[in-house]
Every structure is written in structure tokens, then in C-alpha cells.
């Protein structure tokens, strides 16, 4: 047995930074880990155990293993794992907004505009569409991602301690300021678009407020929807598929009940996409009592739930299009499902943690093309 570990790792959160006192020596890594959190202090204590047992259970979370100072600058800007640790505050701010998550929202606006049947390649329509994309992507998605990282700071201290907030690369004041600036910018652009489109009812502003509120209750207590794998992931799926589609369609046309139902159905596929990101956080989610689907059902079952939600949803939508007398669109959608299934078996079902980025980069383009096929079908 290893000797008793007497050190205590304390990470204190202040407006300026996080600090580490009496750090663990690498030769004396100990486990299990117990976590207690207050608004100002996160304390991680290690209890006596066998060193060999710890090495078998605890993954390497050093900056080098996860990206760290030797990580990728591109990954840092995109906000994905394997990121280089930066000191430039503007790069850190961009990282917190996770630009890699913007394209689905931008594409959702494109689908909504296409589904309206009223978009034209005029300067005015293109300008309105670009402003709507700016509202949906960098502003409101950036707000959502920064807010989520803020409320996930104690989880990230376990899963990804090298991330900007738990590592102390950015202060509490700077994070809170960024959240408010992005939120107000998104709401302001929504109001501008309503005036620009001549809406009597500020539909886009209402959608922006509703989406922002959904983002808040997804991440923040007491509701914290992400604590429940089903509700949280469906809320996330709806935010990425339904809301930007509705915004694009409301900007150029009129939202109809059948479109609302169809896009909410498509959000079940978004639920499947959201589950992909839960696999890398199992350790922290379990420690803090969050019932993500990989925690609740285990990795093997959860990965099949994930791909099933994506594939069954798209097959159901193809059936809806076929029943609506649009067989060519239905066949096009079915054709786009085939490569997704291929990449599911090639990457995701083999190892959802190791290949999550490769899987999403390979399979998701076909999913978003399927969304556009559906949008074009509903406009015709």
C-alpha cells in the first residue's frame, strides 16, 4: 500500500484567478476524490488508498494529456478538447463561446429561410439572413456556451481542469460580463430584425427571449435541466434545430403549426447529437449526481440510444415526406442517412470518447443536409 497522503488540493475562486496550494506530488497520486463546492471555493481532497489502484481508475488530466500548452491553437479557438492553453484574453473569450457549435444554428436559419419559400437572393434578404445568423450563432449560442461553462465549473474541475474557468485563465467578473454582453447583443439584434421585417408582433424577440431562458434553466440551478439526460438533451436538441429554424422562417415568412411539430420531431435527432458530448464527462457527472444518459444507462446502452435517436428520427421524417406526396425528397433524405450509419459504426460505436470529434465531423454534415432537404420539401 502507498503511504498516506497528507496533502490537500485547494482551488480558490476569486475575481482575479484560481490558485493551487500544496499541490499533489505526481508520485503520490491518491483517490477516491471527494468534492465540495461553495460560490467562492472548490475543495478537492484525496483520501488514503493504494497508488496502483488509483492509476487504474483515474485518467491522466494533465494539460499535456488533454491538450494543454502543447495542444492545438485551432482547437483552442474552436473551443474543443485538445486546446492549447492561452493567456490572451480575447482568444480565451472566443474559446468560451465554442465557435465549433455555431454552424448548426447558422444552418438552422438557412433551413428556416428556405422553408419560408420567401427568401430571395437580394441584398436586403441576404443582409437580414446574416444578421439573424449573427444573433443565433456568435451572440446567443456564445451566451449559452459561456453560461454553461460557468455553471459547469465544478464539473470541469474534475473532467477538464485545464479549461479557461477552472484553470483561472479568466476571472469571475470577466466571465459574467461576457455572458451579459452576448445576451443583450442577441436580444438587441432580435428586436432589430423584427423592425426590419415589419413585424406587428416581435416574434424574433420572443424567440430570442424564450431560447435564452431555456439556455439558463438548462445550465443553472434550481431547475438545471441537464441533470436529467432525457429532458436536458431534448432541450439542447430543440435549441440547435427548432429555434434557429423558427427564427429563419419567421424572418421571411410565417410559422405554421405543422412546421413547429416537424421541427420538434427533428429535435429528437438533436437529442442524439447532444448525447455524444456526455460521454467525455461521465466521471464528473457521476461525482456530482448528474443523470446524463451514459451515467444512467452505462456507456454501451447510451451509445445505442444516441444513434437510434438520430437514425429513427430521420427515417420517420422521410416517412412523413413520403406520405405527404414528396417521394423524391424522402428518397434524398434516406440516401443521406446511409453515410451517417456508416460513420456511426466506423467511429462512434467503437469508442464514443476517443472518436467523438471524428464522428461528428464525418456524420453531421449529412444530418444538416437532411435538414435542408426537409426544409425545401416543406416550402414546395
Same structural domain, 21 and 120: no
**Same-domain check for residues 154 and 7:** no
Of 58, 86, 106, the residue that ends a domain is 58
CATH number at residue 306: 1.10.600
CB 278 within 8 A of CB 262: no
40 and 146 in a single domain? The answer is no
Question: Could you tell me if 183 and 247 lie in one domain?
Answer: yes
Radius of gyration in angstroms for the set of CA atoms belonging to the chain, rounded to a whole number? 22
Evaluate whether residue 89 is within a structural domain.
no
Say yes or no: 44 and 126 in one domain: no
Whether 64 maps to a domain, the answer reads no
Domain boundary among 58, 80, 104: 58
DSSP 1-69: -PPPP---EEEEE-SS-EEEESPPPGGG----EEEEEETTEEEEEE----HHHHHHHSPP-SHHHHSGG
Closest CA relative to residue 164, chosen from 215, 221, 90? 90
Query: Is 163 within the bounds of a domain?
Result: yes
Q: Which three cell numbers stand for residue 371?
A: 435538414
Distance of CA 37 to the CA centre of its chain: 24
Contacts of 351 (CB under 8 A, 6+ apart): none
Predicted confidence at residue 285, as pLDDT, reads 85
| 324 part of a folded domain | yes
Q: How many residues does the chain have?
A: 380
Per-residue pLDDT of the chain (380 residues; tens, 9 = 90+): 444 334 433 333 333 333 333 433 333 434 444 444 344 433 333 333 333 433 333 444 555 444 455 678 888 888 877 788 888 999 999 999 999 889 989 999 999 999 999 999 999 999 999 999 999 999 999 999 999 999 999 988 988 888 999 999 999 999 999 999 999 999 999 999 999 999 999 999 999 999 999 999 999 999 999 889 899 999 999 999 999 999 999 999 998 888 999 999 999 999 999 999 899 888 888 887 888 999 999 999 999 999 999 999 999 999 999 999 999 999 999 999 999 999 999 999 999 999 988 999 899 999 999 999 999 999 86
Distance separating alpha carbons of residues 204 and 248, to the nearest angstrom: 9
Q: Are residues 4 and 107 in the same domain?
A: no
What cell was used for 326? 414528396
Instruction: Tell whether 128 and 46 lie within a shared domain.
Output: no
pLDDT computed for residue 83 by the predictor: 84
The reply to whether 54 and 103 lie within a common domain is: no
Domain extent, residue 166, equals 94-379
Do 222 and 280 share a domain, yes or no?
yes
For residues 54 and 98, membership in a common domain is answered with no
For residue 3 the three cell numbers come to: 503511504
pLDDT in the model for residue 69: 54
Predicted model pTM: 0.78
From 11, 32, 58, the end of a domain falls on 58
Say if residue 39 is in the same domain as residue 149. Answer: no
Q: Number of structural domains, the chain?
A: 2
Dist. CA 355–CA 346, nearest whole Å:
9
- Is 296 inside any structural domain? yes
- Strand partners for 34: 45
Is residue 313 located within the same domain as residue 185?
Answer: yes
Per-residue H/E/C for 106-134? HHHHHHHHHHHCCCCCCHHHHHHHHHHHH
Residue 72 has what pLDDT? 85
pLDDT (0 to 100) of residue 156: 87
**Does the residue 80 lie in any domain?**
no
Place of cell 455572458: 179
Amino acid at each position: 500500500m502507498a503511504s498516506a497522503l497528507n496533502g490537500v488540493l485547494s482551488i480558490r475562486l476569486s475575481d482575479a484567478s484560481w490558485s493551487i496550494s500544496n499541490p499533489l506530488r505526481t508520485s503520490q497520486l491518491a483517490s477516491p476524490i471527494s468534492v465540495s463546492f461553495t460560490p467562492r471555493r472548490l475543495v478537492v481532497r484525496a483520501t488514503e488508498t493504494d497508488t496502483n489502484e488509483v492509476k487504474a481508475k483515474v485518467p491522466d488530466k494533465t494539460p499535456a494529456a488533454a491538450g494543454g500548452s502543447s495542444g492545438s491553437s485551432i482547437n483552442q479557438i474552436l473551443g474543443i478538447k485538445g486546446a492549447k492553453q492561452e493567456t490572451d484574453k480575447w482568444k480565451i473569450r472566443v474559446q468560451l463561446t465554442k465557435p465549433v457549435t455555431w454552424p448548426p444554428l447558422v444552418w438552422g436559419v438557412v433551413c428556416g429561410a428556405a422553408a419560408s419559400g420567401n427568401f430571395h437572393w437580394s441584398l436586403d434578404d441576404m443582409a437580414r439572413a446574416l444578421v439573424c445568423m449573427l444573433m443565433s450563432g456568435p451572440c446567443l449560442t456564445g451566451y449559452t456556451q459561456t453560461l454553461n461553462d460557468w455553471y459547469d465549473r465544478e464539473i470541469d474541475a474534475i473532467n477538464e481542469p485545464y479549461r479557461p474557468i477552472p484553470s483561472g485563465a479568466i476571472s469571475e467578473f470577466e466571465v459574467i460580463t461576457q455572458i451579459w454582453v452576448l445576451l443583450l447583443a442577441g436580444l438587441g439584434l432580435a428586436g432589430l430584425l423584427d423592425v426590419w421585417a415589419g413585424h406587428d408582433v416581435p416574434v424574433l424577440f420572443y424567440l430570442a427571449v424564450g431560447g435564452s431562458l431555456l439556455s439558463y434553466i438548462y445550465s443553472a440551478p434550481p431547475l438545471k435541466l441537464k441533470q436529467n439526460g432525457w429532458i436536458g438533451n431534448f432541450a439542447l436538441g430543440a435549441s440547435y434545430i427548432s429555434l434557429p429554424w423558427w427564427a429563419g422562417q419567421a424572418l421571411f415568412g410565417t410559422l405554421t403549426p405543422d412546421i413547429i411539430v416537424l421541427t420538434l420531431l427533428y429535435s429528437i435527432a438533436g437529442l442524439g447529437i447532444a448525447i455524444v458530448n456526455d460521454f467525455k464527462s461521465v466521471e464528473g457527472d457521476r461525482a456530482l449526481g448528474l443523470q446524463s444518459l451514459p451515467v444512467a444507462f452505462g456507456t454501451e446502452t447510451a451509445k445505442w440510444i444516441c444513434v437510434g435517436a438520430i437514425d429513427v428520427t430521420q427515417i420517420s421524417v422521410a416517412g412523413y415526406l413520403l406520405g405527404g406526396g414528396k417521394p423524391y425528397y424522402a428518397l434524398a433524405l434516406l440516401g443521406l442517412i446511409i453515410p451517417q450509419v456508416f460513420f456511426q459504426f466506423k467511429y462512434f460505436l467503437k469508442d464514443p470518447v476517443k472518436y467523438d470529434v471524428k464522428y461528428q465531423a464525418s456524420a453531421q454534415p449529412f444530418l444538416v443536409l437532411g435538414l435542408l432537404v426537409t426544409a425545401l420539401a416543406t416550402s414546395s
